Structure 1
Amino acid sequence: MIRHRRRWIAGAVTAVLLAAAPVVTAIAYPSVAATTCPGCYGLERLRPGLYAEPGLSRAQRRHVTEVIGQADRRVRDFFGGRKGSPDILVCLSEDCYARIGGGRERGVAVLNRSVMLSPRGVDPVIVSHELTHVELHARLDGTDVPQWFDEGLAVLVSDDPRYLAPAGDRCLADSGRPLPATLGDWLRAASADPGLYAEAACRVSRWAEANGGKRALRTLVERLPAGHSFPGIPAPATPSATTRSPSS
């Protein structure tokens, strides 16, 4: 009798926890919940995989789809296609972005499966940066790479003028210091020094130029899931460490 009652109580507790899980997730991690169910947060589907806040004008809807299309082409051109198919959530007001769990960033890749964009992130550079994160991890299939490589590659694919020179040697910063390898370390360091993006892009772009360009990076990404080790990409070698301010 006591054992049977314990089983009933355990089953009841489990049922309550399972029922409460979506509510807890929505409260504690609204960005995860929003990317799982955009409609639950009032977002409207513009086309499969693309959601935006309601009430947009025809011109705004057209602008959003055009920006996403431009970013998609940048990523496809670099990788030779797309393996990832993330949902993209677009907000054109700060209230909308806060409601789905956004912060001060322009955009963010959520769990490497979805992308959320703030009003300041509806731009081909920002969108392609975040799509590159998703595409890279779709191709890595669980293989880890240093976070600075992840970020440097995203800057390179998005052709971000804030962190890349327009032509030639594209480096804007080459201090030679060690760069954060984990996501947590990167977020802490980059929030204090956005120049890290320029240094990461410098390291990735110079390695690419020395090893065959875009094709070398694609080959590297293809080989890593097969068990190849991540190459020792050295810090840029210069007569003296210099830093140039990223373009605005």
Structure 2
Amino acid sequence: MRKRLRWTLGGIVVLLLLAAGGLVVAYPAVAATTCPRCFGLTRVGDNLYGERGLTAAQRDQLTTIAAEARRRVEAFYGGRESDPRLVACFTDGCYSRIGGGGEKGIAVLDRAVMLSPHGLDAVIASHEVAHVELHRRLDGEVPQWFDEGLAVVVSDDPRYLGEHCRVPFDGPLPQTLPAWLAAAGADPQVYSRAACRVQRWLDANGGRGAVPALIDRLNDGADFPAMR
């Protein structure tokens, strides 16, 4: 009986190791944000990790970025319901190792954020944290253009707001993630068109408080409203 139990337990351990190994191969970003130390990262602060060997200035930079990203999201919503882990790289080799690609930053499974060496600033970080916050609050889904446009507004991204919003855009915007990725790859200013539409809707509906109210209605089963 004991021998059989040992074999059973041993088999379970092997299966778990194989599953973990498969996760690392298939979804390195998920594995890296789940176990940053397994990928050579070190704790920099509260739910904040960076590659090893950072200077004191680099550690301070990451701490400031993380704090400002969380502050912007909290200021927009009047509080935060999410606390995503931030994992940041100062080198391309580090970012590639944890599963990153050509993006500046990315939200991972709505519970973590990865920042590349080209996205180490509060705008990019707060954009990705804004995605996580929205998805934490929302039971279902919204059009992808609204998700992205709202993240631009929350992060106060100067590349896509301000003067870009002087002429309203009333054409169709990408509804799904694949359609959004294709559109953004062809013309990054799709972010501006989406953000300006969100900002126009906010201005017409009482400002920032319109988003939590919309989320409540959607969670109660309402349809996503028409926005132009």
Q: What is the TM-score when the length of structure 1 is the normalising length?
A: 0.83
Please name the residue that 2:111 is paired with. 113
CA drift of 1:41 comes to: 0.2
Report the number of matched residues.
Answer: 220
Cα distance in 2 for partners of 1:22, 1:77 equals: 38
Which amino acid is 2:223 matched to? S
Which amino acid is 1:228 matched to? A
Deviates more, 1:76-85 or 1:187-196: 187-196
**Mapping of residues 72-221 of structure 1, within 5 Å:** 72-140=70-138, 142-165=139-162, 171=165, 174-221=168-215
Please name the residue that 1:24 is paired with. 22
Please name the residue that 2:56 is paired with. 58
Higher Rg of the two aligned structures: 1
Gaps of 5+ in 2: 1-9
Pick closer, same or farther for the CA change 1:189–1:13 going to 2, 3 Å. Answer: farther
CA drift of 1:229 comes to: 2.1
User: Percentage identity across aligned positions?
Assistant: 55
Cα distance in 1 for partners of 2:18, 2:149 equals: 40
Which amino acid is 2:72 matched to? R
Structure number having the greater helix percentage: 2
The one-character-per-residue Cα deviations of 1:24-70 (angstroms, maximum 9, x if unpaired) are: 11112111110111110011011231111010111110111011111
CA drift of 1:187 comes to: 1.1
CA drift of 1:103 comes to: 0.8
Q: What RMSD over aligned residues (CA atoms) do the two structures have, in Å?
A: 1.9
- 2:227 pairs, out of 223, 233, 240, with 233
Question: Do the aligned residues in 2 keep the contact of 1:172 with 1:198 (CA within 8 Å)?
Answer: no
**Mapping of residues 44-55 of structure 1, within 5 Å:** 44-55=42-53
Cα distance in 1 for partners of 2:155, 2:83 equals: 17
Question: Do the aligned residues in 2 keep the contact of 1:164 with 1:172 (CA within 8 Å)?
Answer: no
Cα distance in 1 for partners of 2:27, 2:187 equals: 26
Q: What is the TM-score when the length of structure 2 is the normalising length?
A: 0.90
The one-character-per-residue Cα deviations of 1:175-208 (angstroms, maximum 9, x if unpaired) are: 4221111111111211111111001001100011
Please name the residue that 1:246 is paired with. none
Question: Do the aligned residues in 2 keep the contact of 1:173 with 1:195 (CA within 8 Å)?
Answer: no
Which amino acid is 2:78 matched to? G
Deviation >6 Å, runs of 4+: 12-15
CA drift of 1:18 comes to: 4.5
Question: Do the aligned residues in 2 keep the contact of 1:172 with 1:199 (CA within 8 Å)?
Answer: no
CA drift of 1:221 comes to: 2.0
Which amino acid is 2:65 matched to? V
Gaps of 5+ in 1: 1-11, 235-248
